Amino acid sequence: MKKLVALVLCLMMMAAFTASASALTVAFSQIGQESDWRTANTDDLCKAIEAEGWTLVYDDAQQKQENQIKALRNFISQGVDYILFTGVVTTGWDEVLKEVNEAEIPLILVDRMPDCADEIEYAAAFGGDFTEEGRRMGFWAGNYFKSIGRGEEEINAVILEGTTGATAATERTNGILEALQNFPNIKVIASQTGNFTRAEGQPVMEAWLKAYPDIDLVLAENDDMGLGAVAAIKAAGKVPGKDIIVVGCDAVKVAFEAIVAGEMNATIECTPLYSRFVVDCIKRLEAGETFGRDVLHPEEFVYDAEGGIAYNAEGDKLSIKAGDVIDERLY
């Protein structure tokens, strides 16, 4: 009899947990839709939340911090159960994120971390290791030029930076410059924002091609800007991937296609697919688990035309041939 009562109680508790988990409202403050990466990130998270039967409250801030602040305050007044947040820029979130804390809504940081992260409460954090991605761009480029016998030649590089003030941009730039110290033959002759978009990356590259006739290397802090550079190089009558080496970041499928077509040379992975971590995290938080303050970085790789180029200081991480894995790319 006692066993039966225990079983019934257990089933009742499970039913109560399932009922409360299925009634969750999860709000997501997204930056905008500036790149293929961002579109994949939005789709991945929104679809996964809805697939759980949770109510999704989604806001696209169209690249404006003030829109994100407004959205966060709306989420608070709606009394949502969880807030997913990635900030368009690094600074200026202190006040509104403290308001989220005061409302006792668990905050999950995704993708880009705000600079006030140490002063606020958050339930969990999942994001890219942007400095490491930048280092990989620099190491891949330096080692690639060595591999084609141009390791001693003076190489003129340009950096297409992401959105000014975004961690993904500042940290990638820092990582690139740090890695390039190992390759004194590579000189950065220009560096400017292309705002993580193809539309803004292309004219920046067009202007550089007019100002500097001897560009050898483009380090684009995302693939969209890399593809904008490819279009500008073609329009200038040069051959992208040969006359000018193009390295992107994100590893989106269109970049794989450009690599296979010989127009881009490499892409450094930055996965947008966070739903597998976020959904599991919400379920575990609901079950009473807690997470530490560490930012979880997914495992990522580097892809190029042939494979085998080292992209770290130790020289033991080697690029993967994009053509071998292009069919498995989900975004």
Sites of contact with ligand AHR (CB under 6 A): 34-35, 37-38, 111-112, 128, 168, 196, 222, 249-250, 270
Rounded CA-CA distance 94/100 in Å is 10
DSSP 3-state assignment of 52? coil
CB of 63 to ligand AHR, least distance (A): 10
In the complex with ligand AHR, the residue whose CB is nearer, 34 or 81, is 34
Give the DSSP letter string of 266-308. EEEE-----HHHHHHHHHHHHTT----SPEE-----EEESS--
Beta bridge partners of 302: 268
CB of 261 to ligand AHR, least distance (A): 20
CB of 300 to ligand AHR, least distance (A): 11
Q: Find how far residue 145's CA is from the centre of its chain.
A: 26
Q: Cα-flanking dihedrals φ and ψ of residue 327, to 5°?
A: -70, -20
CB of 196 to ligand AHR, least distance (A): 4
Q: Which amino acid is at 78?
A: Q
DSSP 3-state assignment of 302? strand
For residue 124, give the DSSP letter. E
Q: Do residues 75 and 93 touch, judged by C-beta distance below 8 A?
A: no
In the complex with ligand AHR, the residue whose CB is nearer, 34 or 304, is 34
- Residue matched to tokens 């039913």: 15
DSSP 3-state assignment of 227? helix
CB of 267 to ligand AHR, least distance (A): 10
Angle at 227 between CA 223 and CA 232, to 5 degrees: 145
Rounded CA-CA distance 105/97 in Å is 10
Rounded CA-CA distance 307/140 in Å is 11
Half-sphere exposure of 295 (CA within 13 A, CB side): 14
In the complex with ligand AHR, the residue whose CB is nearer, 216 or 250, is 250
CB of 162 to ligand AHR, least distance (A): 6
In the complex with ligand AHR, the residue whose CB is nearer, 76 or 83, is 83
CB of 11 to ligand AHR, least distance (A): 44
CB of 141 to ligand AHR, least distance (A): 17
Rounded CA-CA distance 70/8 in Å is 46
